[in-house]
Amino acid sequence: MDLDKLLNKNQKEAATYLDSHLRIIAGAGSGKTRVVTYRIAYLIDEVGVDPHKILAITFTNKAANEMKERVTNILGPYGMGSLICTIHSLCVRILRQHINVINYPSTFMIMDEEDQKALIKKIYNNLDIDAKTISIKSMIASISSYKMANITPQHALELAGQFQGEIKKAMVYKEYLEYQENHFMLDFDDLLLKAVYIFENYPDVLEKWQYRFQYIHVDEFQDVGNIEYRLVKLMAKKAITCVVGDPDQTIYSFRGADVNYILDFDKDFKPCKTIILDQNYRSTGNILNISNCLIRKNQNRLEKDLYTEATGGAEVIHFTGKSEQEEADYICGQIEKIINDVEGVNYRNFAILYRANYLSRVIEQSLISHGIDYRIFGGLKFFNRKEVKDALSYLQLVCNAEDLAFERIINVPSRGIGKKTLENIQQVALNNQVSLYEALTLFSDQIRLSTKAKKEVKILVEAIETAKHSSLPMHQMFEELMNNTGYIEMLKKDLEENRIDNIHELQRSIYEFENQNPDLATIENYLQEISLYTDNDNIDEKQYVSLMTIHMAKGLEFDYVFVLGLSEGIFPSFRSISESDEGLEEERRLAYVAFTRAKKQLFLTDSEGFSFVTDSPKIASRFIDEVGKEGIKHIGAKPRFKTANYINTSLNKADLVGNNQVKDWTVGDFVMHDTFGKGVVVKVNGKTLDIAFELPAGLKTLMAGHKALKKLTN
């Protein structure tokens, strides 16, 4: 195994350094998996370490299997024996051996997502909760948040305040925990939490595992959160620990990831050496140049600049369209041009990335119009999303009182109309040979409605009839309809911001249809128009353009990448910027991840016009200006931006976040935050605090010393 030929200088140093703990800062496309693989092989083959004394933790099964295969390919059967697994698999091994200390049987059942869904459906039936009002997906996410923040069902109920959606979630959480405990079931969060609990409370168990491994490796360390970090720290007391990651690619803070764990690794793991892998083997020089220029604007990072021997390459193209449609058509035109001009290129070589799912609507329609097959990863096609289908059903009801549309939305939001009442309505409609909506309005005396249902139905009918006779432009009528029916209020109460964004995007779709078809701007014609997009499900399984959010794209690479929707307030997202000072830095890291997915050519696009999501005219994202002037070409309409208004040029992090001078935070401390208002500390995590704020802010993880945070006298 000649490492001089297999690895570059920095890679070899990282693979062979064994004198202390090691932090490998591995830039995008720098060969980090290769380095960890050869490090394990070096330990076994050159140093003679027992493979059973080596642990490598990954965050996905795919990464674990890839690493196992690579080690086996290098060493053959001698490479077998090292424990290379996900962090959840490791916890299962720990718990199978030791969970009896907390009175659980070793035969406990592990719940996957399908098991969770089935249990929550069962609880919904018991509590008479409609999955249309609180999606099962959002309920699973809420349960995870409660658990990770160590919030009890009673505390969750207190935090819910007057929000009905949150009250119901707290009730479901209580039932969920009780069922788990009665049946000895653990979900994926429990695997981590209970393993750490046992290690922290049973020193003899911990000591056994500390002596088991001499060398510990943790991949994607920039994505660890508090619980993962505690587990690694506990296990690593007697082992040399090597962590690998890129702080510039920390983009999962909403899942609990904290960039400070990799930035401050050398403070908890002493002595520690840091090696930077900065040679990129994926992208061209121009792509790396603009990516480096962008990420340098972040203050909270370890300095590194990626470089490549493949200098230059195709210019990065920035296109500003006069409308979102022009932006989408440009992307489709470029895909067709490249396929025609470059031999051996097909749809699989292209990816279209965006900040949020609602941004897929216009590009989807354009791809269909151009006859380009595509697939959305990690989400549904725009017109298949629940809230979009609900809103279209309301429009269908306004248009022609369609029965399927009626059945879909009659109890969304909840109007006290359950299965039995709906059956009564269906029977009355059948007896009188009318639609369900007509049965409800013309023969209401024959339908046995509760007092609540009568009141809610009256509001619904008034909203539908107002829409039918409205003289407003169609997009304004739609907005009024969504508000009058209570649909938007329902999404607000349940804190479903992403769904509200999709409703706004549908409103934009109606607005565009009106402008493009002034003589045909009717609900009937609009519904007919979009049916062309909802029926297009015939995808060629072999050839398609990949559409996904940037979060979904992490770890992937494509020859040609388009990043669309680069408008201020959209990307960077105004919500992320408003939540904390860290928000903008994470948005910039997200852009960095997006740009570095491209191997051969990168396209950045935005458009002029009005955003219904930000409720303001669009200007180009600050990120377009921050990438500099080298290696990028601007075409289309002239972008409008003003970087000087955005960038804090201070080099001092303290200037950026301030210092509230509080050193002695404890659980139960009352706080006041400049943005989120009054809250209480529920967990102290060293440099960060978990704080439960009054709703709608809810639970937040914030920097303990931040200037926006003040301690109140208890």
Of the chain, the end-to-end C-alpha distance in Å amounts to 64
If you compute the radius of gyration of the chain from its CA atoms, what whole number of angstroms results? Answer: 28
Angle subtended at Cα 114 by Cα 109 and Cα 115, rounded to the nearest 5 degrees: 35
Q: Give how far the C-alpha of residue 108 lies from the chain's centroid of Cα atoms, to the nearest Å.
A: 30
The 10 Å Cβ neighbour count of residue 303 is: 7
* Closest-CA residue to 603 (of 279, 316, 259): 316
Say if residues 39 and 22 touch (Cβ distance below 8 Å): no
Number of H helices, E strands in the chain: 31, 22
Beta bridge partners of 242: 22, 217
Say if residues 14 and 277 touch (Cβ distance below 8 Å): yes
Asked if 315 is an active-site residue, the reply is no
Q: Which two tokens stand for residue 673?
A: 């935050």
Asked if 220 is an active-site residue, the reply is yes
What amino acid occupies position 198?
I
What amino acid occupies position 497?
E
Contacts of 320 (CB under 8 A, 6+ apart): 327, 605, 606, 607, 608, 620, 634, 635, 636, 637, 638, 639
Instruction: Give the torsion through C-alpha atoms of 27, 28, 30, 35, to 10 deg.
Output: 80
In a 3-state reduction of DSSP, which class is residue 357? helix
Q: CA quadruple 507, 512, 514, 517: dihedral positive or negative?
A: negative
Say if residues 669 and 681 touch (Cβ distance below 8 Å): yes
Angle subtended at Cα 474 by Cα 470 and Cα 480, rounded to the nearest 5 degrees: 65
Give dist(CA 679, CA 664) in Å, integer.
Answer: 17
Give dist(CA 83, CA 85) in Å, integer.
Answer: 6
Catalytic residue among 166, 189, 190, 219: 219
Sheet with 350-354, strands from edge to edge, namely 374-376, 545-549, 350-354, 558-563, 598-607, 316-321, 632-636
Say if residues 501 and 605 touch (Cβ distance below 8 Å): no
Catalytic residue among 32, 70, 599, 683: 32
Catalytic residue among 166, 189, 190, 220: 220
Asked if 32 is an active-site residue, the reply is yes
Asked if 694 is an active-site residue, the reply is no
Asked if 597 is an active-site residue, the reply is yes
Asked if 219 is an active-site residue, the reply is yes
Catalytic residue among 16, 33, 279, 426: 33
Catalytic residue among 249, 250, 507, 688: 249
Catalytic residue among 588, 597, 622, 683: 597
Give dist(CA 476, CA 470) in Å, integer.
Answer: 10
Give dist(CA 44, CA 1) in Å, integer.
Answer: 12
* Closest-CA residue to 587 (of 611, 560, 551, 618): 551
Give dist(CA 410, CA 394) in Å, integer.
Answer: 9
What amino acid occupies position 204?
D
* Closest-CA residue to 224 (of 112, 86, 420, 115): 86
Which positions are annotated as active-site residues? 32-33, 219-220, 249, 597
